[in-house]
Amino acid sequence: MPQPTKTAVLVIGGAEDKIHGRQILHTFFQRSGGVDARIAIIPSASREPTVIGSRYHDIFEEMGAKAIEVIDIREREHGEDSVWQAFIDDCTGVFMTGGDQLRLCGLLSDTSIMNRVRMRAQLGEITLAGTSAGAAVMGYHMIAGGGSGESPNRSLVDMTTGLGIIPEIIVDQHFHNRNRMARLLSAVASNTDKLGIGIDEDTCAMFEGNGTFQVIGKGTVTVVDPGEVSHTNFAHVGASDPLSIHNLRLHILSHGDRYDLYKRQSIVSAS
């Protein structure tokens, strides 16, 4: 009797390899059930949802998925579509594409389809992946935009509410590729109860149901842990003034490394 697939939530930094090894996309496909996978693609973050939806459709079709549906939500009322809801109820994997995370949240927040996706992912019934904008929306707090190339300051990051799939984290994507460390530090300074997760391109933090994640891919995952911060001037300085944040803990994790979200520590694998 086949073993049930071990589901996961894959938070991908963007620009994942779609042509050569496709390591991250293959991992999503396998965790969704392999040739038995029924995959829903949500391209709503993109301004070209037809193009991006069909691109991922072709990739997962080539891998051999049993069924694939592009859930092309372009208006909020589409999030109540009964045919798409039925597919979401029956699917084994959901893939949220890149684009604009504000657009994605604007179309999907509090819709029946998104509520069902969140619930099924949190219960471990499906494998959920989000790349770029689809990664940014994973936390309860979301980085909507901001700058780079300057010291951490409040005006460097625009925060809003995400989809709350993994509420404990704040995700930034295309991380070292776009010099976003100061942006993530600025976000964490205002939310010291959360964990900052910066994910490089073609890199993924794969969250298991036991509260750990594993790094997959070519780059690194940066963890900014403010759990022991002794001081920040965040509440007392102007929007463009530089921030002080004392006693931050930082981890740089690469392929194969693991991290425990609840213990807030990296897991050293026995070699």
Beta strand pairing call for 203-207 and 9-12: antiparallel
Q: Give the Cα separation of 148 and 3 in Å (integer).
A: 46
Which candidate, 146, 267, 148, 131, places its Cα nearest to that of 199?
Answer: 131
Yes or no: say if 260 and 267 are a contact pair by the CB < 8 Å rule. yes
CA distance 35 to 252: 34
**Residue with token string 């396998």:** 30
CB 115 within 8 A of CB 80: no
Q: Give the three-class secondary structure for 50.
A: helix
**Alpha carbon 52 to chain centroid distance?**
18
Using DSSP's 3-state secondary structure scheme, residue 123 falls into: coil
Which residues are catalytic, by number?
A: 132, 150, 174
Residue appearing with tokens 């049993």: 66
Alpha helices in 18-70 (DSSP H): 23-31, 49-63
CB-neighbour burial class of residue 132 (10 A; exposed 0-12, middle 13-18, buried 19+): buried
